[in-house]
Amino acid sequence: MTLKTKEERGKHMREPLSSRVLRISLYIAFGLGLLGTLTLPFMLEYYIGFFYDAYYLEPGYRIFLIVFIMSVAIPGLWIILEMIWMLSSIPRNPFVMRNVRALSRSGIILFVISAMFFAKCFVYITFLTVGCGFLFLICGFFAFTLSNLFRQAVDYKEENDLTI
């Protein structure tokens, strides 16, 4: 009988059900987000009709809306990809520096998106715009908190690996 190393045990660990459900949900969110982003210039009339917006009657609002949504959606899609890549590390070892960097990048992107929503308030203000700004701000702080937590876990893991 041979003893397996941590790496060999980690290769055969099953992915938890919650991680699989989250990963599938992220794939669906990415696909729908990408589809919505790519079709936005063509489907804007339908979207505006579905979500009525009083600002729509103002000149230049359509172009502003396309530019704003695209500039928020593309970084948002990048965050979804980062989370998918992070989830792929769970069966092996989630406490790696790559995940720390992914969470830090996500936090920065979330702060930028939050700033974009707050900047939009100076041009076209709605309650939803303000709410989204605060939501992305809180998510940015949460991402940085998780990044620090993962960094500590990586440090403890590396220290533990050296002592064995």
- Distance, C-alpha 121 to centroid of its chain: 22
Separation between Cα atoms, residue 102 and residue 84, nearest integer Å: 10
CA-nearest of 21, 68, 16 to 41 is 68
Residue with tokens 């489907």: 43
Task: Look at residue 1 in the predicted model and tell me its pLDDT.
Answer: 46
Task: Look at residue 54 in the predicted model and tell me its pLDDT.
Answer: 65
Exposure b/e, 59-96, CB count within 10 A at least 16 = b: eebeeebeebbeebbebbbebbebbeebbeebeeebbb
Model-wide pTM > 0.85: no
pLDDT tens for each residue of the chain, 164 residues long: 454 555 555 555 677 888 889 999 999 999 999 999 999 988 887 777 776 666 666 788 888 889 999 999 999 999 999 999 999 888 888 999 999 999 999 999 999 999 999 999 998 888 999 999 999 999 999 999 999 999 999 999 988 888 86
Q: C-alpha angle 78/94/4, rounded to 5°?
A: 145
